[in-house]
């Protein structure tokens, strides 16, 4: 049987040791069908490592090296010759951006093609993040104004937006954004932290999408429930892992889990490929050439 093309819509440009070590794991994934991935890159970050880690989920603290921030690495769109011929779509991770850096035109010129928002205004004790307000000492209103400014630029640039937000807390804000930009693609990862609310948004807005990144343990525990959700919203669900570049085993685990969960080839093709390509058009991506 021909290998099905797979695109991962949620991979973080982070690593533990060195970037050079990261590419080796992608050879096996490419042979398994991985064709490309949306890579989320911190084009700007705070240079104090511990402050940076205050705004990263605690489950990732042991898989990202402190030197990544101390040495100011990983802020640029990766050049070719990195990931064994994979198509790379670079997103700008804006979690550390304030009004001082909010003109995104320089990031556009640097080759970024999408925007990733981490909309966590207040402290998140479950995931271990202090929240934007405490990190920068500003108000929730300031964060909302900044977020709207970043989104407006992304829409102007034609950038798809990955909008990380807990819909249980920020459903009204999400609805307002979707109503304001009613033809622009927005991806709410992790099923928006609520399948029920996410379903309502998917039904109301056909430019709204989601992915199941970070949900692998729940998918394994309740495969029938997640299978039903994916089948119902098959045209708006993307394959996503939430892996870092040196965590290719996680991507492999996701691939095998999804293949075991979904036995419909047409549906599987939508999740693995079609929905991703619908958002990340070929003209907006570039290919990292195979390594010699």
Place of tokens 């009613």: 182
Q: Flag whether 214 is in a domain.
A: yes
Q: Flag whether 292 is in a domain.
A: no
Output the pLDDT for position 173.
98
Q: Flag whether 143 is in a domain.
A: yes
How many structural domains is the chain composed of?
1
At 43, the pLDDT band (50, 70, 90 cuts) reads very high
CATH number for position 265 = 3.20.20.140
Contacts of residue 282, defined as CB under 8 A and 6 or more positions apart, other chains included, come to none
Q: Flag whether 96 is in a domain.
A: yes
d(CA 125, CA 40): 23
C-beta of residue 235 within 8 angstroms of C-beta of residue 270 = yes
At 169, the pLDDT band (50, 70, 90 cuts) reads very high
Output the pLDDT for position 290.
45
d(CA 253, CA 240): 11
pLDDT in tens, 57-98: 999 999 998 888 888 778 999 875 677 789 999 999 999 999
Output the pLDDT for position 158.
97
Comparison of pLDDT for 101 and 282, the residue scoring more: 101
Contacts of residue 207, defined as CB under 8 A and 6 or more positions apart, other chains included, come to 178, 181, 182, 183, 184, 185, 186
Q: Flag whether 289 is in a domain.
A: no
pLDDT in tens, 110-124: 999 999 999 999 999
251: pLDDT strictly greater than 50: yes
Output the pLDDT for position 291.
42
Structure tokens at 228: 């039903």
Q: Flag whether 156 is in a domain.
A: yes
d(CA 249, CA 147): 33
Among residues 62, 68, 60, which one has the least CA distance to residue 213? 60
Tell me what the mean pLDDT of segment 52-59 comes to: 96
Cα dist from 85 to 41, 157, 173, 243, whole Å: 19, 26, 39, 19
Cα dist from 30 to 27, 49, 134, whole Å: 5, 33, 41
C-beta of residue 111 within 8 angstroms of C-beta of residue 122 = no
27: pLDDT strictly greater than 50: yes
Q: Which domain, by its residues, includes 168?
A: 6-284
Mean pLDDT score of the chain: 93
284: pLDDT strictly greater than 70: no
Q: Flag whether 208 is in a domain.
A: yes
């Amino acid at each position: 049987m021909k290998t099905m093309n797979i695109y991962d819509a949620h991979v973080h440009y982070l690593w533990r040791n060195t970037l050079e070590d990261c590419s080796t794991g992608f050879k096996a994934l490419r042979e398994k069908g991985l064709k490309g991935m949306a890579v989320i890159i911190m084009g700007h970050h705070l240079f104090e490592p511990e402050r940076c880690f205050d705004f990263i989920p605690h489950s990732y603290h042991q898989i990202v090296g402190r030197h990544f921030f101390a040495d100011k690495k990983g802020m640029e769109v990766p050049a070719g010759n990195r990931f064994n011929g994979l198509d790379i779509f670079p997103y700008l991770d804006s979690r550390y951006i304030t009004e001082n850096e909010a003109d995104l035109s320089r990031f556009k010129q640097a080759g970024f093609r999408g925007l990733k928002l981490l909309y966590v205004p207040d402290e998140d004790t479950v995931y271990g993040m202090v929240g934007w307000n405490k990190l920068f000492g500003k108000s929730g209103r300031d964060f909302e104004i900044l977020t709207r400014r970043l989104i407006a630029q992304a829409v102007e640039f034609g950038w798809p937006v990955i909008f990380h937000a807990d819909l249980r807390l920020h459903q009204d804000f999400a609805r307002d954004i979707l109503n304001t930009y009613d033809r622009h693609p927005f991806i709410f990862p992790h099923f928006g932290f609520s399948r029920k609310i996410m379903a309502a948004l998917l039904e109301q807005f056909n430019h709204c999408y989601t992915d199941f990144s970070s949900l692998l343990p729940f998918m394994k525990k309740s495969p029938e429930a997640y299978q039903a959700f994916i089948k119902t919203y098959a045209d708006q669900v993307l394959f996503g892992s939430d892996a870092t570049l040196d965590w290719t085993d996680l991507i492999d685990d996701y691939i095998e889990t999804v293949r075991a969960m979904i036995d419909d080839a047409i549906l599987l093709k939508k999740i693995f490929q079609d929905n991703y390509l619908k958002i990340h058009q070929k003209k907006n991506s570039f290919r990292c050439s195979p390594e010699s």
